[in-house]
Structure 1
Amino acid sequence: MIVGWLAIPAHAQVEVCAGSWTVADWTEALDAVDAALAELDGDLALAIVGDVVEEARCTGEPIPRETLGRLARQSALIAFHAQDQPELQAWGLLARDVLDGRPWPDDLPAPPRFHALLAELPPPRLAEVEGRSLAPPRGGAVLVDGGIVLTPVAAILSEHLVQVMDKKGRPVVTAFTVGASFPPEALAEEGIEPEELRVPRWYEGPPPATVEGTAPEPDVEIPLLHFEPDPEDTSPKVTFDGRAGVCPWDPDPVAVTARTRRIEIDGREWSLRTEQERREFRNVLRACEEFKAARRFTQWSAKRGTMLAGAKHDRDAMVAALLAPEPKRKKPVRQHP
């Protein structure tokens, strides 16, 4: 099992974000995960997904269920190839819930055994945080996996994305959790009489789930999933060799010079003449967890040489993203229920 490979508990969110992550940043990172999986590079895919989970705390807008479902599917597939049962179950349950049976994408190949394991996952079972109530900001709300909840309930064993929203529908806390657990910022103090929560006018997602018959989260035995591959399955296998790509700068870059055919960062130069060279440099950015810079680099590459296309704007934005300081973060061990 790859211990602590993805989720960062809410109580570890003590660093100040250098900037706000957007849905576009999530999409850029998840595109990179697809590319890594297509190249059968499990280490890079795992590193990018782990960074997305960690950077989620800096998200400045609600995360759509479709985006969250895409991350969940990728994470479940990575866990399958790593033979990590708790992660496969947690992310597989989340993907099943938020995507509601939508067909598997053609551009994310998965072995038949993987789909069979997902079909073996148990049905969802809700549990509640005993003796606590939700306490979002006045006029705000608590979202679990993109849907509003009025009491602190969530499906056991499943991964969840919890967002505490203010009165304008902006997240003030974003955290990944497992099972019926909530970040402390979402909960009232013990013994406080719960207030009646209402659905705010700015909310446009699915209605609150029916939560009758919930109970405190029990200690449950995780059902055993059998990873033995289908002997007739000849699909390519994603591999893990411990090399997720080494970032050539640490800490953040201090000098960046970008020209049409090359870029220099802290005295080291990369040629950008060929598509292969540009792809390799993009992978360097991803290995350094510079997803915003990678997205701007992609846009700049597509516009170079075209008059009035705005290439200079994207180039300058890429340089600014590279020079922006990033906080150093603690990486505590993930706790499973």
Structure 2
Amino acid sequence: MFWLFSLSALADQPECDGSFDLNRLLEGLEVAEHALAQGIDSRAGEVLTVLHEGVICLEEPVHPRHLVRYGRARALLAFAQADEAELRYWGQLALLDPEVRWPRGLDGDHPARETLEALEPTPPLRLEHRGLRVPRGGALLVDGIPQDHPEAVPDAPHLVQVIDGSGLVLQTLWQDGVIWSEALLSDDPQPLPIPWACPPPDPGLDPYAPVRISPEEQARRRALRTEQLAQDLQEKEQLKEALHREQLRAARRRARLERRSDTSDPGPGPGPGPGPGPGPGDGTIRWVDVYLEDVLPRRDPLEQGRSTQGCDDLLLLEPRSMLGRLTEVQLLCLQTRLSTTRAQTTRSAISRLLVADAWARGDDHRWSGAIRRHLEQIDRSDADLCYLFARWLASQGSIDPEAIRWARLALDNAHQWEGDQRIQRIAALHRICTMVAQSLWLDAEEQALQRALPERLQRATFWRNQTKTLAREWLQFATAADIDRTLPYELCLSAAGTTEYCDLV
């Protein structure tokens, strides 16, 4: 409980305060791995998101094996969310050291392990004709490994750390693939010498053991950090002073130019001057480009009254939105309020009006955009909206893995339903997940048969394991709810290829 409370506090911190260290990272990974083993994907996602932000506050070098644990956890979460691209992305980080043992609860016959083990490492790419820029005597670590030139695996996350000559970590940042920060690059392509203060990672490190730092080393790091902060403060003051001097010089230059302009002005000539420029009353220029009265349709009698004058009172607009009778003026007003309002409760209420109006009108394009924005940017905890969106995506005729994503989120919040409705909707959501996964698996198998490229084989393996896992979850629910289990059992057998996995004990 203390760790979860600390996670919440950390998430609200705008800047690093030195409280996040490697042991905090390891504690968070243990919480996330336990949540993944228990199937609590939402909790794992929350913890891993906070860890992702906290890692950049680390003041000590990160060992590659610690990153392997983090990469595996992110890949497992992606598998649970049926996000194939995300699994491949974080799976590359997990491939830093495939020999790292798996945590308890995930070390058995987990379908995601087969998918991860089927991944092949992507060859790294080196930036030609460029070198690395680090402080004098310092070094640069990519995923915990000292680098002498800019080289990284594309389409994979990388943790980059800049270290000075004393071994102090000056900066930690996440890098996407080979998109290097220009601040880290130089035009000198010569390899960077690796200093003594940056030894290679310890090959015998246990990534599950707490990190112990001697009191002497802690004191040394505190002293170096204090010295670095003082130096940074001094540089900021010098920069501020230099900027102030430059502003004064610029003001003096402007004053001189104005004086010259005044003395060189010949004054009005014999003819009339050009006169003032056009103003709001000019007939030749319109002060406002568009008048709403000219472009919006005339309101019918049903649209008269207080409820049509703007969108201040959301309660008065609710019945009209349910009937699809919001006017263009009201829709524009609601869109404007949504983009400018910061209160989350008000944003949610406005967004729901827009979703309801589009649904009542049968405008699929506007409805799908409105509900996607609501779920992605405002609130994804509403099981009804997630359920509706998942069903709509699954009914469009195309194989869209996004349907699985929203169906899983609806299942996470299925406690909002009761009685027969709960059973019917949970069964429908399991069906959506499994059937979409099976369609993606069969499609990937067909492509792999046409041409057995590694990425096609990996995709087929991913979706076969997804089908196997999702079918078994559907089968477990059908058994517990005492409903027909024929289809989930057949789908489970087709993907697993054995009754042992699908026969529930």
TM-score range, shorter chain: 0.5 to 0.7
- Residue identity over aligned pairs, in percent, reads 30
Q: Aligned pair in 2 of structure 1 residues 38, 164: CA closer, same or farther (>3 Å)? A: same
- Map 1:277-296; keep pairs closer than 5 Å: none
Matched, 1:225 2:224: no
- Map 1:169-180; keep pairs closer than 5 Å: 169-180=167-178
| 1:90–1:178 CA contact under 8 A, matched in 2 | no
Matched, 1:28 2:27: yes
Tell me by how many angstroms 1:136 deviates: 1.0
Q: State TM-score, norm by structure 2.
A: 0.37
Q: Who is 2:184 aligned against? A: 186
User: What 5-or-longer segments of structure 2 have no aligned partner?
Assistant: 1-13, 203-453, 474-505
Q: Which has the higher contact order (CA 8 A, sep 6+)?
A: 1
Tell me by how many angstroms 1:125 deviates: 0.7
Q: Who is 1:66 aligned against? A: 65
Q: In the aligned structure 2, how far is the partner of 1:38 from the partner of 1:100?
A: 19
Aligned residue identity for 1:205: P
Tell me by how many angstroms 1:149 deviates: 0.8
1:226-282: per-residue Cα shift (whole Å, max 9, x none)?
Answer: 323377669986xxxxxxxxxxxxxxxxxxxxxxxxxxxxxxxxxxxxxxxxxxxxx
Q: Who is 1:101 aligned against? A: 99
Q: In the aligned structure 2, how far is the partner of 1:28 from the partner of 1:135?
A: 33
Q: Aligned pair in 2 of structure 1 residues 230, 61: CA closer, same or farther (>3 Å)? A: closer
Q: In the aligned structure 2, how far is the partner of 1:157 from the partner of 1:55?
A: 22
Q: Aligned pair in 2 of structure 1 residues 229, 71: CA closer, same or farther (>3 Å)? A: same
Q: In the aligned structure 1, how far is the partner of 2:468 from the partner of 2:78?
A: 21
Q: Who is 1:138 aligned against? A: 136
Q: In the aligned structure 1, how far is the partner of 2:88 from the partner of 2:65?
A: 19
Residue 229 of structure 1 aligns to a residue in which SS? helix
Higher strand share: 1
Q: In the aligned structure 1, how far is the partner of 2:86 from the partner of 2:168?
A: 29
Residue 177 of structure 1 aligns to a residue in which SS? strand
Q: State TM-score, norm by structure 1.
A: 0.55
Output the aligned Cα RMSD. Answer: 2.8
| 2:84–2:459 CA contact under 8 A, matched in 1 | yes
Larger Rg: 2
Aligned length: 206
Q: Who is 2:53 aligned against? A: 54
1:147-197: per-residue Cα shift (whole Å, max 9, x none)?
Answer: 111110011222211111111222211112222233343222xxx334542
Q: In the aligned structure 2, how far is the partner of 1:184 from the partner of 1:32?
A: 36
Q: In the aligned structure 2, how far is the partner of 1:28 from the partner of 1:71?
A: 12
Q: In the aligned structure 2, how far is the partner of 1:123 from the partner of 1:70?
A: 16
- Map 1:187-266; keep pairs closer than 5 Å: 187-188=185-186, 192-206=187-201, 225-226=459-460, 227-229=463-465
Aligned residue identity for 1:77: L
| 1:112–1:233 CA contact under 8 A, matched in 2 | no
Higher helix share: 2
Aligned residue identity for 1:62: P
Q: In the aligned structure 1, how far is the partner of 2:106 from the partner of 2:182?
A: 36
